[in-house]
């Protein structure tokens, strides 16, 4: 079952089969008293009768619907079930009302105007199909059947073509093999020998085949059987036959049948094509459209409906009331024929419903309702979010140019763009703002002009610390760190020319493809036997105070493969989503881990395992469980594991300054992140034994690849505020003030997850998830946070050492091991990078400990700072080597010691 146009047709044919055929049968054989009463009623217009659960009304009256068809007066026959059980349906209620009304004048005016459904007005032009020669398929088990031959020769005489098959299987094969254009118009099935050919079964199979709604099915029955039973036709009609015909060899009878079929078939095809065309039109509407039957079961839902509500396109008829509520539903249930009222719609991906304006109409070819149409307007807010940055919005933008122009708004910048086919949404925003200045007080004009000036810059999401006092970093260490993390400019104060070969970047770090080869040949045969203790530790892998450094110890520096196997293979079973075996996953994890540089103090596979663990922890939260598909969760875990693969232990700025081949390759733009993402796929696709994507079909692979790349690229810190601002603007609303002010104010933000229904907003969630995981070390319990702080500081110091040794520009001069204040660097890092982001994320996934840990770490660093503790050595002395990081420090002395 699916909410598709064919469901509309199925619904129609079901109605025709179950009600229409009963009507026909009843008209033919209804108990005499009812027939007699009906006949009497016909003679005495305006009478209404009830019998055996059916109401029969005959009236001779001026009927607006019939008169549209050219008859001013018509006699109408209504057969309606009036039992209490169906009273809930608008159609039933409308039916009961009209059956009780004796004259049109007796019906209250409001009923005439609002209660009866409007006719389904399909323009005649829509119901035209060009005449085609008739194609006939005969299914007759008997070899050289004379009845079959008679049918075929009648078709030939009518200028058509006939072919015959002898079994149900051959008939279905012919249907499935034929292209749509070649499908027969009529299928004649020999139903005379049920033991040789089960005609009803075949009819059901044909109707279950795609695009067969318009084919006319004729069952040939024996004359004796036809005459024996008044209801002989019913099982055939129920099975999907359109007609039942008595066996005949008469050329005249067959000719008449064939010609009638040609006419009926053309009309059926025209109707199917018209419904398909209308469904295609509805699919291209931006508004959310659903069509239900008279019981309000959804038969058709357009693409916008599916997209916004998170439905798959192929879901079956379901009660609209499961999804919709509010005044619109009450109006629909009251039997109103046309209404406008708000509707609340529940979405799959988000707990909160959305409220949209809705227009509805009850439709029916007769006075009773057959379908109800709901058109829910995509509100501006939803639309704007959906369109942001998409091609779709750019296309719409081109129309907006004209509409804005016709509004006569002032927009000098737009005038130049009139001739171009494209316009960015921001241009329209600027134009609207400019228009708003007209007649505004000077202070407002000044404000708007300042805003417009800001909008005109291309770096809308780049932080501007100097302009914003709240973002001003006072401490020189913090300035160094934050500046280096966020700045896209490389430090170029000294013109530097690299001496020697470009790939002699560092003896402790290499970042070229030879790493891949080495890893594949030597180190893929890791044994993954988990000892009891290791198993116990891995059992706690989903707790926020997971002992990552213990895992590093126990696995001798290979935590990623072990943790990855436990989480990805075990808890999340990504092998199912990726359709790969666990062995391939283990190989993948192993080779990825091998391509991390164990010599890096921070950017090694323990950091990758830590980020993986954080992502896994986040994925367990209800909000993410309800939003992300298994494949998206798998992509997030893969991205986390690989996000820093082959990190050289120096920053992108360093690589650019050093004119490293990677910086040259990636044009100094997102150098490291581009490399991590590219290398991840290179490693994966290079060898079938590690290729976890090898069984995915093209589209699924593309989707996973896109997700993994997007998440890895999102870890680039120069885009930190861009990602954070987008996330906050989409998912947080403030009770007062503009959204632009949402960040860095003391006013609490209100979480608003309605935007989750749009795929482009789910991308923001995935980016935020990996970003938060990447720097989650500052939001971990203190003993972990401090060890990570030591490790990153050590790596920064090594970079500074190397820059000095190679006479390169020093990216973070304050990060000199002799002088750098670790507490201050951490205070700055938490203040400017961590707190805002963790607050936004913690509220979104309901994980307050992220903020609590960050705050308590901040407080501890401040205490240390105030106690005069500064260098790494000071810190560990002050901590008394009592914690894990102290012990690790002791076991692994730094160069300083």
Q: Per rule CB under 6 A, is residue 815 in the interface with ligand CMP?
A: no
- Which pair of structure tokens corresponds to residue 236? 């055939």
Residues 278/8, Cβ–Cβ less than 8 Å: no
Using the minimum distance from each CB to ligand CMP, give the nearer residue, 175 or 812: 812
> Does 603 carry a binding-site annotation?
yes
Question: How far, in Å, CA of 151 to CA of 93, rounded?
Answer: 47
Q: Residue 605, annotated ligand binder? A: yes
**Minimum gap (Å) between residue 897 Cβ and ligand CMP:** 20
| Nearest residue (CB) to ligand CMP, 164 versus 777 | 777
Residue 777 as a binder of ligand CMP (CB under 6 A): the answer is yes
Q: What 8-state DSSP symbol labels residue 531? A: P
Establish if 145 lies at the interface with ligand CMP (CB under 6 A).
Answer: no
Ranked by CB distance to ligand CMP, the top (closest) residue is 829
Looking at the Cβ atoms of 757 and 826, the one nearer to ligand CMP is 826
Biggest CA-to-CA distance, the chain: 113
**789 near ligand CMP, rule: CB under 6 A:** yes
Residue closer to ligand CMP, measured from CB, 304 or 799: 799
| Binding to ligand CMP, residues 482-521 (CB under 6 A) | 485
Choices 388-396, 447-455, 587-595, 771-779; region in contact with ligand CMP by CB under 6 A: 771-779
Q: Are 730 and 751 in contact (CB under 8 A)?
A: no
Query: Is residue 782 packed enough to be buried (19+ CB in 10 Å), middle (13-18) or exposed (0-12)?
Result: middle
The answer to whether 643 is a known ligand-binding residue is yes
State the DSSP H helix or E strand holding residue 234, giving kind and residue range, or none if neither: helix 233-239
Answer yes or no whether residue 774 interacts with ligand CMP by CB under 6 A: yes
Residue 855 Cβ vs ligand CMP, minimum distance, rounded to whole Å: 15
DSSP code of residue 17: I
Alpha helices (runs of H) in 462-547, residue ranges in sequence order: 476-486, 514-522, 532-538
Q: Between residue 863 and residue 882, which ones bind ligand CMP under the rule CB under 6 A?
A: none
Q: Does 644 bind ligand CMP (CB under 6 A)?
A: yes
- One character per residue 450-489, x = contact with ligand CMP (rule: CB under 6 A): -------------------------------x---x----
Name 63's Cβ contacts closer than 8 Å, sequence gap at least 6: 71, 73, 74, 76
By the rule CB under 6 A, 94 interacts with ligand CMP? no
Closest to ligand CMP by CB, 577 vs 822, is 822
Distance CA 42, CA 64 (A): 20
Contact status: 836 vs ligand CMP (CB under 6 A): no
Judged by CB under 6 A, the chain residues 684 through 743 that form the site for ligand CMP are 715, 717
From candidates 775, 835, 837, 843, binder to ligand CMP by CB under 6 A: 775
Closer residue to ligand CMP (CB): 565 or 850: 850
- Is 607 annotated as belonging to a binding site? yes
Q: Which of residues 547-606 bind ligand CMP (CB under 6 A)?
A: none
State the alpha helices, DSSP H only, in 317-441.
327-333, 380-387, 391-406, 412-417, 425-436
Look at phi and psi of residue 122 and say left if phi exceeds 0, alpha if psi is from -120 to 50, else beta: beta
Interface region with ligand CMP, contact rule CB under 6 A, candidates 37-45, 118-126, 745-753, 788-796: 788-796
Which of 214, 562, 597, 603 is an active site residue?
603
Q: Tell me the site size for ligand CMP, rule CB under 6 A.
A: 15
What is the token pair recorded at 15?
A: 């109605």
How is the beta sheet containing 288-293 ordered, strand by strand?
298-301, 288-293, 371-376, 354-363, 338-345, 324-325
Residue 644 assigned to a binding site: yes
Binding of residue 609 to ligand CMP (CB under 6 A): no
Pair 696, 638: CB distance under 8 Å: no
Q: Does 590 count as an annotated binding residue?
A: no
Provide the minimum distance between the beta carbon of 696 and ligand CMP in the complex, in angstroms, as a whole number: 28
Are the CB atoms for 526 and 558 separated by under 8 Å? yes
Q: Which is nearer to ligand CMP, 401 or 833 (CB)?
A: 833
Part of the chain binding ligand CMP (CB under 6 A), chosen from 348-356, 378-386, 538-546, 825-833 = 825-833
Contact at 8 Å (CB) between 779 and 851? yes
Check whether 675 is labelled as a binding-site residue.
no
Using DSSP's 3-state secondary structure scheme, residue 103 falls into coil
- φ, ψ for residue 340 (rounded to 5)? -130, 120
Which of 376, 773, 778, 810 contacts ligand CMP by CB under 6 A? 778
Tell me the C-alpha distance between 572 and 538, whole Å.
14
Q: Tokens representing 790? A: 């030591």
Question: Does the protein bind ligand CMP through residue 829 (CB under 6 A)?
Answer: yes
- Name the residue nearer to ligand CMP (CB basis): 538 or 672: 672
Binding range to ligand CMP, per CB under 6 A, among 327-335, 769-777, 866-874, 876-884: 769-777
Q: Which among 216, 265, 271, 272 has a CA at the least distance from the CA of 244?
A: 216
Residue closer to ligand CMP by CB (options 75, 894) is 894
Task: List the x/- string, 790-809, binding to ligand CMP by CB under 6 A.
Answer: --x-----------------
Task: Please provide the DSSP assignment of 550-616 as one string.
Answer: HHHHHTTS-HHHHHHIIIIIIIS-HHHHHT--HHHHHHHHHHHHHTS-TT-SSSSHHHHHHHHHHHH
Report whether 371 belongs to an annotated binding site.
no
Q: Does 380 qualify as catalytic in the annotation? A: no
Least separation in angstroms between CB 777 and ligand CMP = 5
- Closest separation between CB of residue 611 and ligand CMP, Å? 8
**Residue 222, phi then psi, degrees to nearest 5:** -70, 150
Least distance in angstroms from the C-beta of 523 to ligand CMP:
24
User: 515 vs 777, which CB is nearer to ligand CMP?
Assistant: 777
**Under the criterion CB under 6 A, does residue 827 sit at the interface with ligand CMP?**
no
Q: Helix or strand or coil: residue 771?
A: helix
Phi/psi of residue 161, nearest 5 degrees: -125, 140
Distance of closest approach, residue 722 Cβ to ligand CMP, in angstroms:
14
In whole angstroms, how close is the CB of 650 to ligand CMP at the nearest point?
10
In the complex, least distance from residue 402 CB atom to ligand CMP, rounded to whole angstroms: 45
User: Is there a binding annotation on residue 606?
Assistant: yes
Contacts of residue 270, defined as CB under 8 A and 6 or more positions apart, other chains included, come to 126, 127, 128, 129
Confirm if 850 and 842 have CB atoms less than 8 A apart. Answer: yes
Q: Which residues contact 816 (CB under 8 A, 6 or more apart)?
A: 797, 800
CA atoms of 12 and 299, how far apart (whole Å): 11
Between 792 and 808, name the residue whose CB sits nearer to ligand CMP.
792
- Of 98-106, 236-244, 443-451, 773-781: span binding ligand CMP (CB under 6 A): 773-781
Burial of 699 (0-12, 13-18, 19+ CB in 10 A): exposed
C-alpha distance from residue 691 to each of 130, 332, 713 (Å): 53, 54, 21
- Partnered with residue 882 across adjacent β-strands are none
Per-residue DSSP letter, 20: I
Please, which of residues 529-558 interact with ligand CMP by CB under 6 A? none
Rg of the chain over all Cα atoms, to the nearest angstrom: 37
Residues in contact with ligand CMP, shown as a per-residue x/- string from 295 to 334 under the rule CB under 6 A: ----------------------------------------
- In the complex, the smallest distance separating the C-beta of residue 745 from ligand CMP, rounded to whole angstroms, is 25
CB of 624 to ligand CMP, least distance (A): 21
| Between 291 and 592, CB nearer to ligand CMP | 592
Nearest to 636 by CA among 626, 624, 645, 648: 624
Would you call 852 exposed, middle or buried from its count of C-beta atoms within 10 A (0-12, 13-18, 19+)?
middle
What residue ranges bind ligand CMP (CB under 6 A)?
481, 485, 644, 715, 717, 774-775, 777-778, 788-789, 792, 825-826, 829
Which residues fall in the annotated binding site for Zn(2+)?
A: 607, 643-644, 774
| Binding positions | 603-607, 643-644, 774, 826
Q: Which residues are catalytic?
A: 603
């Amino acid at each position: 079952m699916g909410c598709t146009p064919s469901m509309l047709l199925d619904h129609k044919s079901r109605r025709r089969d179950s009600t229409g055929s009963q009507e026909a049968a009843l008209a033919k054989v209804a108990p005499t008293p009812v027939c007699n009463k009906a006949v009497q009623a016909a003679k005495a217009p305006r009478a209404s009768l009830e019998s055996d659960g059916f109401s029969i009304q005959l009236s001779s009256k001026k009927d607006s619907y019939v008169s549209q068809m050219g008859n001013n007066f018509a006699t109408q026959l209504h057969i309606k079930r009036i039992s209490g059980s169906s009273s809930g349906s608008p159609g039933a209620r409308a039916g009961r009302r009209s059956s009780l009304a004796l004259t049109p004048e007796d019906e209250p005016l409001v009923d005439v105007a609002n209660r009866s459904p409007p006719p389904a007005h399909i323009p005649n032009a829509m119901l035209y199909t060009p005449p085609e020669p008739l194609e006939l398929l005969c299914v007759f088990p008997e070899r050289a059947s004379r009845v079959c031959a008679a049918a075929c020769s009648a078709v030939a005489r009518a200028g058509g073509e006939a072919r015959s098959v002898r079994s149900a299987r051959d008939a279905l094969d012919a249907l499935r093999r034929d292209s749509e254009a070649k499908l027969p118009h009529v299928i004649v099935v020999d139903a005379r020998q049920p033991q040789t050919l089960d005609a009803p079964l075949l009819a059901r199979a044909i109707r279950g085949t795609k695009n067969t709604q318009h084919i006319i099915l004729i069952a040939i029955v024996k004359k004796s059987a036809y005459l024996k039973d008044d209801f002989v036709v019913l099982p055939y009609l129920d099975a999907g036959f359109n007609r039942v015909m008595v066996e005949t060899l008469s050329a005249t009878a067959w000719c008449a049948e064939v010609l009638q079929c040609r006419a009926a078939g053309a009309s059926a095809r025209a109707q199917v094509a018209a419904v398909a065309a209308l469904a295609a039109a509805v699919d291209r509407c931006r508004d959310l459209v659903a069509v239900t039957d008279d019981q309000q079961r959804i038969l058709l839902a357009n693409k916008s409906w599916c997209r916004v509500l998170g439905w798959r396109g192929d879901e079956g008829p379901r009660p609209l009331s499961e999804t919709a509520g509010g005044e619109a539903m009450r109006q629909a249930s009251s039997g109103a024929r046309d209404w406008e009222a708000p509707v609340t719609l529940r979405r799959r991906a988000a707990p909160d419903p959305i409220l949209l304006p809705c227009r509805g109409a009850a439709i029916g070819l007769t006075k009773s309702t057959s379908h109800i149409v709901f058109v829910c307007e995509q509100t501006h807010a939803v639309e704007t979010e959906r369109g942001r940055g998409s091609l779709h919005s750019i296309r719409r933008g081109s129309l907006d140019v004209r509409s804005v122009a016709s509004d006569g708004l002032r927009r000098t910048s737009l005038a130049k763009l009139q001739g171009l086919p494209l316009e960015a949404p921001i241009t329209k925003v600027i134009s609207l703002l400019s228009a708003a200045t007209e007649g505004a007080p000077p202070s407002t004009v000044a404000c708007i002009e300042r805003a417009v000036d800001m909008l005109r810059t291309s770096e809308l999401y780049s932080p501007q610390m100097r302009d914003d006092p709240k973002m001003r970093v006072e401490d020189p260490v913090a300035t160094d760190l934050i500046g280096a993390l966020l700045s896209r400019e490389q430090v170029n104060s000294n013109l530097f020319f690299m001496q020697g070969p470009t790939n002699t970047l560092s003896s402790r770090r290499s970042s070229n493809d030879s790493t891949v080869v080495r890893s594949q040949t030597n180190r893929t045969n890791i044994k993954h036997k988990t000892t009891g203790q290791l198993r116990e530790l891995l059992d706690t892998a989903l707790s926020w105070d997971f002992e990552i450094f213990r895992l590093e110890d126990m696995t001798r520096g290979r935590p990623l493969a072990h943790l990855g196997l436990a989480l990805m293979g075990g808890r999340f079973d990504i092998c199912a989503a990726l359709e790969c075996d666990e062995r391939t996953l283990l190989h993948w994890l192993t080779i990825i881990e091998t391509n991390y540089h164990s010599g890096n103090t921070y950017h090694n596979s323990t950091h990758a395992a830590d980020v993986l663990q954080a992502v896994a922890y986040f994925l367990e939260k209800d909000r993410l469980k309800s939003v992300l598909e298994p494949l998206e969760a798998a992509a997030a875990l893969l991205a986390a594991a690989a996000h820093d693969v082959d990190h050289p232990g120096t920053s992108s700025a360093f690589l650019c300054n050093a004119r490293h081949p990677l910086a040259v390759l990636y044009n100094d733009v997102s150098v490291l992140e581009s490399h991590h993402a590219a290398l991840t796929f290179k490693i994966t696709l290079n060898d079938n034994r590690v290729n976890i994507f090898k069984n995915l079909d093209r589209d699924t692979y593309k989707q996973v690849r896109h997700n993994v790349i997007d998440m890895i690229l999102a870890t680039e810190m120069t885009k930190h505020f861009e990602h954070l601002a987008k996330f906050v603007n989409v998912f947080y609303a403030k009770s007062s003030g503009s959204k632009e002010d949402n960040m860095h104010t003391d006013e609490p933000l209100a979480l608003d997850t309605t935007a989750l229904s749009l795929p482009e907003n789910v991308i923001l969630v995935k980016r935020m998830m990996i970003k938060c995981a990447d720097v989650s070390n500052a939001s971990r319990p203190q003993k972990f946070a401090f060890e990570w702080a030591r490790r990153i500081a050590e790596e920064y110091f090594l970079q500074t050492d190397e820059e000095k040794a190679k006479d390169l520009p020093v990216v973070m001069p304050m990060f000199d091991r002799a002088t750098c204040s670790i507490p201050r660097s951490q205070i700055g890092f938490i203040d400017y990078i961590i707190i805002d982001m963790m607050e936004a994320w913690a509220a979104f996934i309901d994980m307050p400990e992220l903020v609590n840990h960050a705050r308590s770490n901040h407080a501890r660093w401040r205490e240390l700072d105030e106690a005069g503790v500064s260098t790494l050595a000071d810190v560990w002395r002050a901590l008394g080597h009592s914690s894990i990081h102290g012990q690790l420090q002791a076991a692994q002395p730094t160069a300083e010691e």
